[in-house]
Amino acid sequence: MTSLDKPTEDTDQTRPGDARAVTEAALFEAFGGVRGMVETVLPGLLFVTIFTIDKDLHLSAIAALAVSLVLVVVRLAMKDTVKHAFSGVFGVVFGVVFAMFTGNAKDFYLPGMLYTLGMALAYIVTTLAGVPLIGLILGPIFKENLSWRTRNPGRKKAYAKASWAWGLILLAKCAILFPLYWWADTAQLGWVLVTLKIPPFLLAVWLTWVFLAKAPAPIDVFAELEAEEKAEQERRAAQTAESGEATGGRHRREA
Amino acid letter, residue 104: N
- Three-state secondary-structure class, residue 152: coil
Q: Who's near 104: CB < 8 A, 6+ residues apart?
A: 186
CA distances from 16 to 13, 20, 208, 213 (A): 9, 6, 16, 8
**DSSP 8-state class, residue 3:** T
| Residues 43, 65 contacting (CB under 8 angstroms) | yes
In this prediction, residue 250 carries a pLDDT of 60
Q: Which long-range contacts (CB under 8 A, 24 or more apart) does 32-36 make?
A: 32/84, 35/84, 36/84
In this prediction, residue 255 carries a pLDDT of 56
Digit-by-digit pLDDT tens for the chain (255 residues) are 333 334 444 444 445 556 666 677 777 767 766 777 777 788 888 888 998 888 888 898 888 888 888 888 887 787 776 666 666 777 888 888 888 888 888 999 999 999 999 999 999 999 999 999 999 999 888 888 899 999 999 999 999 999 999 999 999 999 999 999 999 998 999 999 989 988 999 999 999 999 998 888 888 887 767 777 777 777 777 677 666 665 555 655 565
In this prediction, residue 142 carries a pLDDT of 87
CB atoms within 10 A of CB 177: 20
In this prediction, residue 141 carries a pLDDT of 86
In this prediction, residue 9 carries a pLDDT of 41
In this prediction, residue 75 carries a pLDDT of 77
In this prediction, residue 188 carries a pLDDT of 92
In whole angstroms, give the CA distance from residue 74 to residue 120. Answer: 31
In this prediction, residue 114 carries a pLDDT of 95
The interaxial angle of helices 33-54 and 198-213, nearest 10 deg, is 160
In this prediction, residue 18 carries a pLDDT of 60
End-to-end alpha-carbon separation of the chain, Å?
Answer: 47
pTM of structure = 0.76
Q: Helix/strand/coil (H, E, C) string of 199-217?
A: HHHHHHHHHHHHHHHCCCC
User: Dihedral of CA 51/53/58/61: which sign?
Assistant: negative
In whole angstroms, give the CA distance from residue 159 to residue 179. Answer: 31
CB atoms within 10 A of CB 55: 12
